[in-house]
Amino acid sequence: MYVIAESSMFVRAQTELPSGLKLTTQEFREGWNFVGIKEARLLEKKILRQGWRTIRIVDGWMRSGVGETPQAAVGNALNLALRKVSPHFNAVEVGHVEWMHYPRFFLARVMVKPYRIQNGAIVPVLDDPLPLRTTLRPRLLPLDAAVLFPNFSSAMPMLKEMLTRSRSLQTRVQ
């Protein structure tokens, strides 16, 4: 059994690793293997010693999941996050884990940071573009926008009036 916490790592099952690198993993879900916290801390050092690199190209993303126990909720959230990882990335680090207890279930939020483990520092050119930032959310007005910005709804009539005034001044000048 494994305990998923911050700094845990997951590596795709078919990932090519440096020869001679002994990595203790446990099968997780859907083609991913779990690397414990102690192994994950040493993984990057071992990879660098072999002349390989870990490259992080995009920001991480957060997913939520529910379960009967905290670890079940974290596992379900992580499962949803791993489905979103592009096939170009072959490793994921767990960046943030939080869970809340509700009367009959646990709700967990997990942030993952995708990595690419490869021999050399040159990133191959990909056919499909990667998103530059995946953490952007659409901006919404606050619920009390009318209190915070009292002239917000009246801005369009004011702009229209300004436009008609400027046109009338232009015709008088000519």
Helix (H) or strand (E) holding 113: strand 106-119
CB 52 within 8 A of CB 44: no
First vs last Cα of the chain: how many Å apart?
Answer: 84
What is the per-residue pLDDT across 71-130, written as a single tens digit (0 to 9) for each?
Answer: 999 999 999 999 888 888 989 999 889 999 998 999 999 999 998 888 876 666 555 555
DSSP conformation class of 24: -
Q: Which pLDDT score is estimated for 107?
A: 94
Q: What is the pTM of this model?
A: 0.65
What is the per-residue pLDDT across 30-51, written as a single tens digit (0 to 9) for each?
Answer: 789 888 788 888 888 888 888 8
What is the per-residue pLDDT across 149-165, written as a single tens digit (0 to 9) for each?
Answer: 666 566 666 666 666 66
pLDDT for 134 beyond 50: no
Q: Which pLDDT score is estimated for 132?
A: 47
CB 100 within 8 A of CB 67: no
CB 23 within 8 A of CB 16: no
Question: Can you read off the two tokens belonging to residue 10?
Answer: 């997951």
